[in-house]
Amino acid sequence: MTYGLLTPDVPLGPFEGSRVTVWSAQGKQAKLHAKPSCSYLRSARFTEREVRLDAATVGRLCPQCTAYGSWARPGTGLAIFLDAVTGLGLLYEMDRYHEADEDTYSDEEVGQAASILIRAAAGSEEGTPGNVEGEAEDDAEDESWEELQEARHVRETVFAEWLDALTSLTRVSQVLDHFPWLRSWARAGVQLKADHLEVLRAQAARLVAPDSLVLAAAVSVSEKPDLPSDDPAFALLGNPAEVAAQLTSLWRQWRSKVEDSWDHPREQQYLVHHLASGMSSRRKGYDLLMERAQELVSTWERAAQSTAADEREECVLVGRVPDTALAQHGSREPVIDRLSEWERAVLASYTVAVDWGQPAVTVRVPQPVATCLLSGQSALAYDAPAHQTPASVAVAEPTAGADESLRPGVFDDTPVNGRRLVTVEHLRALRSTMADAEQLYVVLGVGTGVEVVALSALEQRCGSGWQGVILAGARDLPDALFETGLLAMPEGASEGAGVWTPRVYDPHDEAFGRSLGAAEGERVLVRLCEGRRNAGQALKSLALARSVADLRDLEAAGYDDQGHPRSPFAPAVWDGLLAMEQLDLEPFGSGLDGDWPRGSGLPLGVLASVQAYTTDAAGRFQGRAHSPDCAHRRPQPGVRPPRRDRHH
């Protein structure tokens, strides 16, 4: 695999001149390395120094470090820029799908496949044997079937290449939106990719029959027809009620297959055999059942053709990626991968304009197709503009303003007085370049003051109009502050000691109440992280979490790339943050009640500041609520009680 190598001609924009730490062997012309462990740094004697990042420095970097070297602290603007450009970022995508390669089908090959597919969609018998019998007829049928299968393979391959090229160009445009100073440098390459994409789209459009797409749309919005449950031909299926249930199931299966496919509805005739599942083909009435079922499906097909013929008017729609799609499970999955086979064919056949940055697509489609797209079943959100002329709906090239581009000052890479307002675009850029971006942040908001919030919660606030700056993330806290704590762990934190200390009930014991102290939480956290996680990072998250008055505010939003609920820190942090013990109320009994013989009569007011948490007190998730440390809880950590009404 070829990675994107940073070259001196790539504009660094506002990041030019940033100070970066490099390592090199002795010599003025020695290659620079992003880390001392670089395999290209073979000298035993090397030096560490700080240099300005510019074209000259980039020219001296070793090939490995120019592809995926880490030259900046993770989470800073410079790190996001370098991650977005190098490795599998912008430079890698610019080198893909800009011209045909040896695996690309030629226009002639696509034309041959299209001829076979369109003929099959039209139900033409041209080219099939007429006056041949026996083995010759069987051989001709086998040859025709193989040709059709090969044509379908060509269609699938061309569509896959077109969709990959579309995804690649979309990613390029998104990076250019975040870093607009790269646009002039990338303009020629982007045009090559756009031209090649149009060639692939035109090839894909030739391989589907528009009439099939219109029929599928008509079927999708059609109502359930009257079913002949009392037809004697269906008597093998049971009594009239059972026949009605079977035919309803057939109708639903047929409609589902048709509305999601780019093939003609007649290609789904095979579904009638599901009616006779487990039934012998020699049974009396079997042939009549199959014949009548095929006639019924043909009736549904003719009804769809009639509906499509009555609605020949065309309209223009604009489809965009809704913001809610970014918060779904597996948010890094391209939206194009969530579209049905039918909708991909619609985009290939009817697209008239594309905005790569949104992304948004403009299509001119027949009315049945428009009705289907506007039904809200797609991953894209379609709407009909007020004016239906192509010029009025052409999507202009996006232009990012100075406040939207990602520059130094958004994250913890400048003095506080130089910080810039953080936007949802900045946070999405961070998430798109970091595999594990979710963490706690100290933020300063207008009207809210200093707070500690998770990245996903901050992203939601910015999307709702919150204005503020990032002061620091958990990873930005100084290591020295926590290294001292690691070296001075309380007794019992040594290797081999138990994680949980015995409970002490004697108030005169010096260890009484230690399990409720902050030091005990740190000790437990370090022990739980031992050998598995970075204890220093966990302690940083613990320090920030302790400053939050209500731990419900630490709840993250959305899901990670694997579809799991996000968490701003390791699960062990909850063990350091909460006392995983049951609250014993016996000492507060009256002492007069036989059920509380040890009661002292103390008022419960002394417990007013105690906070108790469960995993789901709000009842928003299936299953019981548990203590955050309960062994019966689900694997997702965290506390999920009802949230308070707050205005951010």
Give the residue with greater pLDDT, 204 vs 75. 204
Flag whether 490 is in a domain. Answer: no
Asked if residues 383 and 318 have their Cβ atoms less than 8 Å apart, the reply is: yes
Residues 221 and 198 in one domain: no
Residue 188 lies in a domain: yes
Q: Are residues 142 and 192 in the same domain?
A: yes
Q: Is residue 342 part of a domain?
A: no
Residues 106 and 128 in one domain: yes
Would you say residue 542 lies in a domain? no
Give the integer Cα–Cα distance in Å for 246 and 109: 43
Backbone angles phi, psi at 379, to 5 degrees: -70, -20
Residues in the chain: 648
> Is residue 191 domain-shared with residue 233, that is, in the same domain?
no
Residue 91's identity, in one-letter code, is: L
> Are 191 and 222 in a shared domain?
no
Checking DSSP bridges between strand 314-320 and strand 381-383, what pairing results, if any? antiparallel
- Per-residue pLDDT at 434: 78
How far, CA to CA in Å, does 236 sit from each of 239, 272, 287? 9, 14, 11
Q: CA-to-CA distance for 638 and 574, rounded, in angstroms? A: 7
Q: Where are the alpha helices (DSSP H) in 74-134?
A: 77-85, 90-94, 107-122
Please say which residue of 290, 310, 330 terminates a domain. Answer: 310
pLDDT in tens, 248-280: 999 999 999 999 998 988 888 889 888 888 788
More confident residue, 137 or 229: 229
Cis status, amide bond into 390, omega within 30 of 0: no
CA 356 – CA 360 distance, rounded (Å): 7
CA dist 256 and 219 (Å) reads 9
Higher pLDDT, 607 or 203: 203
Q: Does residue 283 form part of some domain?
A: yes
Q: How far apart are CA 507 and CA 505, in angstroms?
A: 6
In a domain, 389, yes or no: no
Q: Any idea of the CA torsion for 551, 554, 555, 561, to the nearest 10 degrees?
A: -150
**What pLDDT was estimated at residue 398?**
46
| C-alpha span between 196 and 97 (Å, rounded) | 7
Residues near 473 by Cβ (< 8 Å), separated by ≥ 6? 75, 411, 412, 439, 440, 441, 442
pLDDT digits (tens, 9 = 90+) for 361-410: 899 999 999 999 998 888 888 998 876 555 434 434 544 444 567 888 88
- The verdict on 101 and 185 lying in the same domain is yes
The per-residue pLDDT for range 49-78, each reduced to its tens digit, is 899 999 999 999 888 888 877 788 888 888
Token code pair at residue 332? 């890094």
Residue 120 and residue 152 in one domain: yes
Query: pLDDT grade, residue 633 (50/70/90)?
Result: low
Q: What percent of the chain has pLDDT over 90?
A: 26
According to DSSP, the residues that pair with 320 across neighbouring strands are 360, 381
pTM above 0.85, yes or no: no
- Is the pLDDT score of 532 beyond 80? no
> Closest Cα partner for 347 from 322, 311, 319, 323?
319
Question: Taking a C-beta distance cutoff of 8 angstroms, is the pair 159, 344 a contact?
Answer: yes
- Indicate whether 278 belongs to any domain: yes
Identify whether the C-beta of residue 227 lies closer than 8 Å to the C-beta of residue 244. yes
- The model's pLDDT over 157-199, given as tens digits with 9 standing for 90+, comes to 999 999 999 989 988 988 998 899 999 999 999 999 999 999 9
Query: Element (H or E) spanning 164, and its range?
Result: helix 135-178
Tokens for 173? 């445009």
- Section 614-626 average pLDDT: 62
The one-letter code for the residue type at 621 is: F
Please check whether residues 49 and 123 belong to one and the same domain: no
Question: Is position 116 within any domain?
Answer: yes
Please indicate, yes or no, whether residues 181 and 237 belong to a single structural domain of this protein. Answer: no
- Look at strands 19-25 and 32-33 and give their pairing: antiparallel
The total of structural domains in the chain comes to 3
Check whether residue 224 and residue 306 sit in a common domain.
yes
| Lowest mean per-residue pLDDT among 244-253, 385-394, 427-436, 538-547 | 385-394
**One-letter amino acid of 196:** H
End-of-domain residue from the set 310, 337, 357:
310
Same domain, 64 and 135: no
* Helix, strand or coil, per DSSP, at residue 37: coil
Give the end of a domain, one of 310, 336, 364: 310
Q: Is 433 helix (H, G, I), strand (E, B) or coil?
A: helix
Query: Residues 183, 186, 189, CA angle at the centre, nearest 5°?
Result: 145
Q: Are 100 and 192 in the same domain? A: yes
What domain range is 34 assigned to?
13-69
Residue 641 has pLDDT above 70, yes or no: no
Quick check: 591 pLDDT over 80?
no
Distance CA(25)–CA(44), nearest Å, equals 8
Q: How many CB atoms lie within 10 A of CB 312?
A: 10
Give me the residues paired with residue 61 across strands: 32
